[in-house]
Each structure stands twice: as structure tokens, then as C-alpha cells.
């Protein structure tokens, strides 16, 4: 196997046993980037010089038998994560030449854990989108079939992992922006509990919905990475003082005796029949392995997408107000069409005469959606559901119909409204394109989600496939 397609666990073992160096690992990633980035449009900025220095430093530490969780591991960052001295654009021409004076908290934690930062990955501008097509620097393509989208908004991050350009990548999930591209690219994507990972230094989309997660090749890698990034941050008041457990500790406990809920509202008309079949195969597998499968209802699901697309644009319009072209960034005329659309929608719903009718009502429905999940988790330990009602679509297919694009978030957005964690795990391929399922749990139940995901992964091995057979 090519070095850049190793899992974090495999790479750490190889580094420790001196089968290869961190510089070798990094060079393997850069080989893939140089070979494929022109086509796939994954990276907006590469930090080759800085990364090489970090890799050399890692090799010295390894030679001195130092051990850090991510020592020498190449990682890509979604281009919303502030990086000191390295261009950070949010994939928007507004911030085309912005260079932050500081690192985001997550970036600091990754560096302190020994990670090697490869570069900044493309995304929908300001994270506005489900396909990766709203980037001001052009869309990212799906390496499994370059005519199709890879999912968004964390498009470049997901593709960097599946295409062997990095061993892991950070992402943000406001309404499915990690889970959707994970499902569409055969990667593992975690959207942690809201506040579990600090948002400090990460360009905000919708502040009450944004969750900070990542993409990896395996569930175990995802758990190991969350061990590094999770925790209380004095610079982010939304991070609670909840203890960070060892998320990899219970990975191999299996699913016997667990109660897994299947929400009827997520298996409605409009769900692709082939996706439904793959999810049902996974459910039968868990039942065979000793889990108890229980039908549940989340009755307010039908209102979730409308609620999400009132609250989210309202917060977007507030967050983007700071980009006035005076203190930093380019003039507001530089905003792309989708950013302008969301600013206008949000400003409208917050305006006098409409606030009570729209925003206030949406916040009440949000509470009902959260209560649905709370009630469900009194009966079950976890929930399994599709990530998206459809498979990846062709580039350009929905660009002129934003409502169709918004509907791709119908199964993902409720999880952000409730603030609970969700893990997307690969479950197969349909017509040559990957598909995943999402495993959901109560607040701060990430360990349980990893355990359930791990049991499926080790018995199916979909994660061993990559688009190039390397």
C-alpha cells in the first residue's frame, strides 16, 4: 500500500518501527497532491516548506523515542481554520489574501500532538453548501467519479483523505457538512456534540450549530483524533467542563445488548431505494450481532429543514456582517451568490415584523426537535439513519436550484439543531459511488458511536478501498 493511503494507526506503527520516516510519509502525500490536485481541486494553499520542517522535527523526536499522539502524521485543514502565517480564505474571494496572526485552538492542539500540517483544503465558501460547488475557487471533484460532487461543505477535506493527500483532515459540520462528504467519499466523519471541540479561531458560519470534527480512514483513527481535539477551551465559552474520555478505550466491546433505534421519519418516500437497502443490511447485521432493534419516532423531523434554513441564515447574516472590507478582507461586492442569498434570507427573518413570525417560531420548533431526540434516547442507546436521501449528484446538476441542494441536508440538519453527535461510517458502494450511514447518540456519547461504528467496520472492511486501488 502507498504510504499516503495508510491509516494513522498503521503510519504510527511504521514510524515507530523505522520502516519509513515522517518526511517519507509527507512526500508520499505531496506526490499524490502534485499528481491529482489540478483535476480534483482539493487544496487552496499548500504549506510545503512548513510541513517539511515539521516532519523533520518529528523524525528527530521519534529517533529520541518521543511519543506524541499524532507525531509525524500529515493532516489537512479545512480552509476555515485560522493558521498563523498561512493563508486562510474560507474559500471566499473576500479573504483571498488574508493571513491570520494566530492559530485556531484545534490547530494548536494538532501541532502540540505532533501533527504535520499539509495545507488548507477547499470547501463551499464560508461553508455554505452541500456539494463543494459554492467555492469561489472552483468545485472539488469526487475521485470515485470526477463527474460527481464529493459533498460539502467540507469537500476538500474529505477528498484529501480518500485520495491519499493526507492521512486525516479537519472539517466543520453545521447541517451535515462532515457527514455528507464522508458518506459520499468512503471516509469516516465525526460531528461531535456541540461544544465538545473548540470553535475558537475557526471562521464561523452559524454559531449555535457549528460543530468541529474531522475525516479519517478508520473509526479507530477518528477516536484517536478526537482524543486530541476535544475538551474545554477558555477561549470558547460554549465548550463545557465535561471530562474528555479515552474515545478508543471501548472500541472493541461489540454491540450485544445495545438498543438501536430506527426512526420511521428517516425512511420516508424520497429516500433512494438502493440507499435504503444498504442501511437495512447494516441494521440486520447489528441485529444478528446481538443488538436489539427498536422502531422509534422523531415526529418533528418534517419541520427540521425549514427550521434549519431560518436559524442558519439568520446567524450567517450576523456573522458575515463583520466582513466590511475596512478592517480586513476585500469589499462586500466580492461575496459569491450563495453568501448573498443567505445574508438576505437571514436579514429578512431577523427584521422588525418578521422576527416573531419566523426566527422566534423556528427556535421553538428547534426545542421540540431536541425533545424528540431526548425522548428517543430514553428508549434506545443509539440511532441509525441514512446520511442523505440521495447519492452524490453530477457537478452542475443542482447549481441553479438551491432548494434541491438544501433538501440534501434533510437527514443531517436535525442532528445539529439538537446538538447531538453523529458518526458517518462507510457501508458500501452503489453504481461505483460510496454510501454511508450515520450513527447518532445522546450528548457526549461519542465513545458509544465509535464502538458501534467500529463493530461494523471490522466486519466489512469498506474502508480498505480507495479510488485508485493503491
- DSSP class per residue in 13-76: HHHHTTSS-HHHHHHHHHHHHHHHHHHH--EEEE-HHHHHHHHHHHHHHHHTT---TTTT-EEE
Task: Single out the residue of 132, 135, 45 nearest to residue 393, CA to CA.
Answer: 132
Identify whether the C-beta of residue 150 lies closer than 8 Å to the C-beta of residue 186.
Answer: no
Beta bridge partner(s), residue 121: 43, 78
Establish whether 153 is a catalytic residue.
Answer: yes
Distance CA 10, CA 2 (A): 12
Q: Hey, what's the cell of 398?
A: 443542482
Residue of 131, 177, 198, 222 with catalytic role? 177
Count of C-beta atoms within a 10 Å radius of residue 334:
16
> How far, in Å, are 40, 206, 391 from residue 132 at the CA level?
11, 18, 15
Distance CA 165, CA 185 (A): 14
Distance CA 2, CA 216 (A): 16
Q: Helix H segments across 377-465?
A: 402-407, 413-418, 446-458
As to burial, measured by CB atoms within 10 angstroms (0-12 exposed, 13-18 middle, 19+ buried), residue 109 is buried
Establish whether 154 is a catalytic residue.
Answer: no
Extract the runs of DSSP E, i.e. beta strands, from 187-324.
188-191, 211-216, 259-263, 292-296
Identify whether the C-beta of residue 173 lies closer than 8 Å to the C-beta of residue 154.
Answer: yes
Residue 202: partners with Cβ closer than 8 Å, 6 or more residues away: 80, 81, 82, 104, 106, 172, 210, 212
CA torsion angle for 265, 179, 425, 240 (degrees, to 10)? -100
As to burial, measured by CB atoms within 10 angstroms (0-12 exposed, 13-18 middle, 19+ buried), residue 401 is exposed
Establish whether 183 is a catalytic residue.
Answer: no
Question: Rounded to the nearest 10 degrees, what angle do helices 219-229 and 446-458 cross at?
Answer: 160
Residue of 130, 153, 154, 211 with catalytic role? 153
Residue of 4, 28, 78, 222 with catalytic role? 78
As annotated, the active-site residues are 78, 153, 177
Amino acid at each position: 500500500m502507498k504510504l499516503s493511503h495508510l491509516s494513522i494507526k498503521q503510519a504510527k506503527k511504521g514510524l515507530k518501527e523505522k520502516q519509513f520516516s515522517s518526511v517519507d510519509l509527507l512526500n508520499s502525500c505531496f506526490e499524490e497532491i502534485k499528481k491529482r490536485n489540478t483535476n480534483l481541486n482539493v487544496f487552496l494553499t499548500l504549506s510545503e516548506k512548513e510541513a517539511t520542517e515539521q516532519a523533520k522535527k518529528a523524525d528527530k523526536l521519534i529517533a529520541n523515542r518521543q511519543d506524541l499522539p499524532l507525531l509525524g502524521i500529515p493532516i489537512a485543514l479545512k480552509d476555515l481554520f485560522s493558521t498563523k502565517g498561512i493563508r486562510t480564505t474560507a474559500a471566499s474571494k473576500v479573504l483571498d489574501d488574508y493571513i491570520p496572526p494566530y492559530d485556531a485552538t484545534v490547530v494548536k492542539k494538532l501541532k502540540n500532538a505532533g501533527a504535520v500540517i499539509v495545507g488548507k483544503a477547499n470547501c463551499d465558501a464560508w461553508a455554505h453548501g452541500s456539494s463543494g460547488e459554492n467555492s469561489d475557487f472552483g468545485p472539488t471533484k469526487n475521485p470515485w467519479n470526477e463527474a460527481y460532487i464529493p459533498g460539502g461543505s467540507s469537500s476538500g477535506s474529505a477528498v484529501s483523505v480518500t485520495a491519499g493527500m493526507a492521512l486525516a483532515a479537519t472539517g466543520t459540520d453545521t447541517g451535515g457538512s462532515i457527514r455528507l462528504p464522508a458518506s459520499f467519499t468512503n471516509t469516516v466523519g465525526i460531528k461531535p456534540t456541540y461544544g465538545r471541540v473548540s470553535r475558537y479561531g475557526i471562521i464561523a458560519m452559524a454559531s449555535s450549530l457549528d460543530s468541529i470534527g474531522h475525516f479519517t480512514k478508520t473509526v479507530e483513527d477518528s477516536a484517536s483524533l478526537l482524543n486530541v481535539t476535544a475538551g474545554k477551551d477558555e477561549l470558547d465559552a460554549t465548550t463545557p467542563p465535561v471530562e474528555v474520555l479515552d474515545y478508543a478505550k471501548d472500541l472493541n466491546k461489540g454491540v450485544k445488548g445495545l438498543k438501536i433505534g430506527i426512526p420511521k421519519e428517516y425512511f420516508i418516500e424520497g429516500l433512494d431505494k438502493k440507499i435504503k437497502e444498504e442501511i437495512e443490511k447494516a441494521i440486520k447485521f447489528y441485529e444478528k450481532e446481538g443488538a436489539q432493534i427498536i422502531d422509534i419516532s422523531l415526529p418533528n423531523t418534517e419541520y427540521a429543514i425549514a427550521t434549519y434554513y431560518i436559524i442558519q441564515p439568520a446567524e450567517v447574516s450576523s456573522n458575515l456582517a463583520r466582513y466590511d472590507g475596512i478592517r480586513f478582507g476585500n469589499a462586500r461586492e466580492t461575496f459569491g451568490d450563495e453568501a448573498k442569498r443567505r445574508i438576505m434570507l437571514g436579514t429578512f427573518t431577523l427584521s422588525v415584523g418578521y422576527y416573531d413570525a419566523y426566527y422566534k417560531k423556528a427556535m421553538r420548533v428547534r426545542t421540540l426537535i431536541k425533545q424528540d431526540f431526548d425522548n428517543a434516547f430514553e428508549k434506545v442507546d443509539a440511532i441509525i439513519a441514512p446520511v442523505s436521501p440521495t447519492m452524490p449528484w453530477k457537478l452542475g446538476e443542482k447549481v441553479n436550484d438551491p432548494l434541491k441542494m438544501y433538501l440534501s441536508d434533510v437527514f443531517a440538519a436535525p442532528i445539529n439543531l439538537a446538538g447531538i453527535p453523529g458518526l458517518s461510517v462507510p457501508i458500501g458502494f452503489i453504481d461505483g459511488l460510496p454510501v454511508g450511514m450515520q450513527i447518532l447518540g445522546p450528548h457526549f456519547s461519542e465513545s458509544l458511536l465509535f464502538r458501534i461504528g467500529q463493530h461494523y467496520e471490522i466486519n466489512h472492511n469498506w474502508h480498505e478501498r480507495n479510488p485508485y486501488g493503491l
